Amino acid sequence: MPERTYILHITERRLWDQARERGAYAMSTRGRTLQEEGFIHCSTRAQLPAVAAFLYGSYDGPDELVVLVVDPARLGVPLRYEAPKPGGEEFPHVYGPIPVTAVVDVEPWS
């Protein structure tokens, strides 16, 4: 899969399994929903290691972590690249739930 085409989101396996049952994924980041945050935090392949370390560096949960590989062309909701502070690195933010049909692969994360 070409890196430039896809965006990534790291999550717990059980949250992805629940999303598959509902038809859409709606967690923004670790412990926060789309409704609470306003968008779903994603990353590029290059950004993923730092994001995973920041969010899950101390993770000792019962579920394995997985990376959702998302095709932006299948989202059906806005995708914006935004920096957390002016002049900072831009990250992909999805402004709506991610349909399970937009997830083209699920990779294990260790």
Mean pLDDT value of segment 65-72: 97
- Please list the residues that pair with 11 across neighbouring strands: 66
- The model's pTM is 0.91
Which DSSP state fits 43?
A: B
Query: For the chain, first and last CA: distance in Å?
Result: 20
> In this structure, what CATH number is given to the domain that contains residue 87?
3.20.170.20
Q: What residues have CB less than 8 Å from 69, skipping those under 6 apart? A: 1, 6, 8, 103, 104, 105, 106, 107
How far is C-alpha 98 from the chain's CA centre? 9
Which domain covers residue 24, as residue numbers? 7-109
Which DSSP state fits 109?
A: E
Q: In whole numbers, what is the pLDDT of the chain averaged over residues? A: 92
* Inside any domain, residue 48: yes
Residue 34 amino acid letter = L
pLDDT tens figures, 28-63: 999 899 999 999 999 999 999 999 999 888 787 778
* Inside any domain, residue 33: yes
* Inside any domain, residue 2: no
* Inside any domain, residue 92: yes
Residue 45: exposed, middle, or buried by beta-carbon count in 10 A (0-12, 13-18, 19+)? middle
pLDDT of 1 = 40
Is pLDDT of 106 > 90? yes
Q: How many domains does the chain have?
A: 1
pLDDT of 3 = 45
